[in-house]
Structures are given as C-alpha cells and as structure tokens.
Amino acid sequence: MQSVNEVQLKINDYNDTIFEWIPYYQIVDIKDLSNTIYLAKWKDGPLYWNGKVYTRNLENKAIILKYLVNAQNITNELLDEIIAYYNKVEVYGISQDPDTKYYIIIFNGDQYLENCCVCEKYYTNAKRKWCKPCQINWLKVNFTNWTSENKQINNIIQEVQLKINDYNDTIFEWIPYYQIVDIKDLNNTIYSAKWKDGPLYWNGKAYTRNLENKAVILKYLVNAQNELLDEITAYYNNLQIYGISQKPSTEDYIVVLNQEQYIKIFCNKCTNKYVNTEYKWCEACQKSYLKKKFTNWTSDNKQIDRLIQVMQLKINDVKDIIFEWIPYNQFSDIKEIGKGGFARVYSAKWKDGPLYWNKKKYTRDSNKTVALKCLNNSQNISNKFLNEVEAYSINNLNNTDNSGEILKIFGISQNPDTKDYIMVLQHARGGNFNNWLNNNYKNFNWSYKLKVLNNIINGLKEIHQKQYGIKWRS
C-alpha cells in the first residue's frame, strides 16, 4: 500500500494541481449521478497559487466523486487510472468514505461534466455531449420496440444503426408506412412524400423528433428484397438514408431518403446522378434531348449529318460545346484574316451563337465572334476533312485560356455559293491559330517564341493522344 504522499509526488509530475488528501467532512451536497459517480461540493476548494503562496478560495467548488468500490488499497492500477484522466480532467485528490472505507477520486466537477459521460467514459463528441457506447446501448435496447416483421430486414436495419459514429449521423430506421403522407409520383420508381414525425436527431441530451413533416424521397424496390442492401450501400456515401418502409398493399419495400439532398444529386427526370451537381446537368438526359432533335436539322449530306450526330453525343460535361450544323446566313461581318495553300480563314459574327447550359436548359450566347475555316475545294467530303473536324475539341467551352489549347470547334457550315464546307472555330486571341502563327512570328521575342513552340507541342501531343495524325497547316 502506498501513502497519499507517494501518490502526491507521482501525480504532481503530471499536473500543476496540488493533489491532496481531502477529508470527507469537506465534501457536501452529494448528488447521485450513477452508481459510482456523484456530483458534490468541496467546502474549502482546491489550493491555488496566488503569486506568493498557496491558498484556497473557500468557494464550495463543484466536484465529481468517483467511488472505487472494493478498492480499499491504493494500488498502482488505481494510480494509473487517476493519471489516465489527466488528459482532459483535473484530479484534485483522494478521499475515503468513513462508513464503507471506499476510496474516492475527486475530480474538477465542471471539467468532468464537460468531458465525461455518466458511463464514466469520455464523450465521443464532448461539445454535443454524445457518447457512442451509450447511444449504441440505447439503440440495442430499442431493438425490441420496432419490427419490420421480416428477420432479414430487421438484421439489416440493426446492422446499419450500429454504424453510427457521431451525434449527427442518421439513425437508420424502420419507418411505418402510415407515417408517410402526401405521396407524389415523380417517375415510376421515385416518389416525393412527407414523413410525419421526421427523423431522429440528437438534441444534446437525447434523441428526439421534429414532428415536422420532413420532405423525403421514396424509392420503391419492386419485389426486390435482395437488392435492398445494394441500394442502401449505393446511397450511403452520397446522402442521408432515413430508413426502410413497406407498402402494405403490395409488400414492396421502400428506401426513404432525404429529399433536399436527393434533388441536388440525382436527376429528377431519369434518376441518374448529375454529372455536374452545381449546374444540375445530367449526361443521359442531355444526350437523349440531342438525339430527339436529330430530326430538327440537316446539312443535306448524310455523311456530315452523321459526323455532327457523333460529335454531339461526345458531350460528357456541362461545359462541353454542342457541336452543330450552322446555316451560313447566321454569319455577318465576314472578314478574311488568313490565307494558305489549302484554306482561308475568316472572322465573323454568329448571330444566334453557341449553345450553353444555364442550369435549367440550353440557351444561346448570341453575336459571338468566331473563326470560319474554309477548306478549298471541299465540296466533296474527304476523310481529311472529317479527321480534322474530329481533332478539334468540344471540351470546356468556358476555358478562355486559348494560348496553348487546341482550338474549340462549334460546328460546320457551308458556303451556299461555292458549296465549300466551313469549320466554325473558336476565335482565338489574334485570330485563327495557324494564321496568327504565320503572320506574327517575325514580331515575337524569343522567350515568347519558345512559349508558343511549347504550346504547339502540347497541342500536338493532345492530338496524338486522340490518335488523329493531323498536321497543322492552313
């Protein structure tokens, strides 16, 4: 058995608090918190250094008593237990119950209540007073208060419930069907609805409900009990899943999801995930929209129509260009800006301008300045023409740093007089890239030339990566 003095010496290595023997009569106002933890007051209070001497506040300091039941000796284990608390809670000392002879550890009461649950473990989340072991216990006790009347489903719900890790994790539940009201069909498998009582949330003391008619999304699993786990896993990382319900008339199981989160992530037309959630842009829906419009335009040439269709269906991002057939009468202010052996390049104004996605639909950026590249004698479509068109990029319309990028292509047009086909390109700084290079090269300073060369190499690399063996000439 060690004396309090020995303990005092060891403990004082760990903390500035003076560890003391606290006489039991100093402890008043004892209130039961659990079987071994009591809230109380220490009449004289702990010693503190006032700059000259140690003195006491005589303040009825709030303390926590931890009874060491059956520990009538101060052992090394006891010492370790005390030291272990020092991370978060000040330990003032030891006392002893005169009747039972049980030793009592005395803690700083405020600090203890801030950091420790009544189960005597540190809170998982001290700020929210949320203790994982206690809440897991509470959920387990509750297992008998609900049932889906299907053992497998019960097991799934229990398993997911016990995965909680913090106060704001969703408690996955069995939601009785009568709790779900105001059901509206969104498409065949997705419904919007309200959940009368709403989900459980942690209010700092207990789990409770808002009784708020919470907006939810119902996903019906038609005869698909086996798909249930896959469905839950698929959603689990993306949004809050409140639980499972079952429609009594059909016995179909229903996954109940947070509506607010759902509509941000999933397309409300086709239930696919948005490629771009900020812009609510769904690749599948936009491709089928473009496909439906294939009959609304034609170049009067099957090969060109086919090319435009292929280019349109290459989109996979909100900022991609919708490649189009652009009637020649859309262009005005046509000025020649470059001429080569095989082509002429013009700047022009495109009246309606290219399509862009405004978060709801495609609309046009009118009076856009573009470059028209007319290949000489291109009345007949050659593979060279087709390859060159495909080598231009439709990716990322909004990327305005044109210096090193392959030019973007908006579509194809045709000169009605000469019948020559025209590539409608992004109007780069200084005009068409090739033209710009030819006309201005002699004016460049050397470091700028190197930068331009580097950009050309990068551009060529991109072409080679796309496996088009295109040479840049005008």
**Contact residues for Zn ion (CB under 5 A)?**
117, 119, 131, 134, 267, 269-270, 272, 282, 284-285
- Pick the closest to residue 107 from 78, 47, 64, 147 (CA basis): 64
Please state the length of the chain.
474
Least gap, CB of 89 to Zn ion (angstroms):
15
CA contacts within 13 A on the Cβ side of 107: 25
Least gap, CB of 270 to Zn ion (angstroms):
3
| Nearer to Zn ion (CB atom), residue 71 or residue 265 | 265
Within 10 Å of residue 99's Cβ, how many Cβ atoms?
Answer: 7
Q: Which residue bears the tokens 């929209």?
A: 289
Least gap, CB of 64 to Zn ion (angstroms):
14
| Nearer to Zn ion (CB atom), residue 285 or residue 428 | 285
Least gap, CB of 293 to Zn ion (angstroms):
16
| Nearer to Zn ion (CB atom), residue 134 or residue 428 | 134
CA contacts within 13 A on the Cβ side of 353: 12
| Nearer to Zn ion (CB atom), residue 28 or residue 119 | 119
Beta bridge partners of 185: 191
- Pick the closest to residue 276 from 354, 356, 217, 359 (CA basis): 359
| Nearer to Zn ion (CB atom), residue 71 or residue 186 | 186
Beta bridge partners of 181: 194
Least gap, CB of 275 to Zn ion (angstroms):
10
| Nearer to Zn ion (CB atom), residue 228 or residue 284 | 284
The two three-digit tokens of residue 86, written as one number: 């020092």
| Nearer to Zn ion (CB atom), residue 119 or residue 450 | 119
Is 252 in contact with 245 (CB distance < 8 Å)? no
Q: Which residue bears the tokens 């998982």?
A: 124
Distance CA 444, CA 56 (A): 82
Distance CA 460, CA 405 (A): 10
| Nearer to Zn ion (CB atom), residue 131 or residue 218 | 131
| Nearer to Zn ion (CB atom), residue 131 or residue 371 | 131
- Pick the closest to residue 362 from 309, 407, 323 (CA basis): 323
Least gap, CB of 182 to Zn ion (angstroms):
24
Least gap, CB of 281 to Zn ion (angstroms):
9
Instruction: Give 430: exposed, middle or buried? Use CB within 10 Å, 0-12, 13-18, 19+.
Output: middle
DSSP string, 203-267: -SSSEEE--S-EEEEEEEETT-GGGHHHHHHHHHTTS-EEEEEE-TTT--EEEEEEHHHHHHHB-
Sheet of 343-350: strands edge to edge?
324-325, 409-414, 421-426, 368-375, 343-350, 331-339
Amino acid at 356: Y
What phi, psi does 377 have (nearest 5°)?
A: 50, 45
| Nearer to Zn ion (CB atom), residue 135 or residue 434 | 135
Least gap, CB of 404 to Zn ion (angstroms):
34
Least gap, CB of 131 to Zn ion (angstroms):
3
Least gap, CB of 453 to Zn ion (angstroms):
44
Q: Which residue bears the tokens 């469905």?
A: 231
